Amino acid sequence: MNIPTRPLALGLLVIAFSALVLGRAQAGGGHFYAPVTDTVVKEECGGCHLAFAPSMLPARSWTRMMGDLQHHFGTDASLDPGTAKKITDYLTANAADQAGQRYSTKLLRGLPQAQSPLRITELPHWIKEHREVAASEWQQSAVRSKANCAACHAGAERGYYED
């Protein structure tokens, strides 16, 4: 039995290429970060700002942030110890440097191991991605802060940042 290999190889190539393209489209391309799914984290963090995807910072940053909630970016965001531990455990388990965080490695590119930034906007990759945004755009009333991702990224709450 002689099976033509050229059409079979071409067919397999088309299937592989389609799977790659469709997989990236469904996952938000290279700018998808799984949103917060824990209800406590959504409620406690998302009550004041976008509940940022844990995969946007390394575990050491989340540990540092959660260890000083009384000085949380100029606000006292203190929590009872049990709630703080639950949130810390969730954030660190799903952090950028934990296994399986598909797109997070690029956010950590260029970040020295000794650094534990508290702001996503301090990451070298974030700075590179936003280098062409004029300073005046950050000052607009609809934006007001570099941390207001949803002002420019309509899908931020769902984990999509490619706009």
Local confidence pLDDT in tens for the 163 residues of the chain = 555 566 665 555 455 444 444 443 344 456 788 999 999 999 999 999 999 999 999 999 999 999 999 999 999 999 999 999 999 999 999 999 986 677 788 888 889 999 999 999 999 989 998 999 999 999 999 998 899 999 999 999 998 988 6
Backbone angles phi, psi at 67, to 5 degrees: -80, -5
Q: Which residues pair with 32 in a beta bridge?
A: 160
Q: Both ends of the chain: CA-CA distance in Å? A: 52
Residue-level pLDDT at 104 = 83
What are the boundaries of each domain within the chain? 39-158
Alpha-carbon gap, residue 153 to 22, rounded angstroms: 21
Q: What is the pTM of this model?
A: 0.78
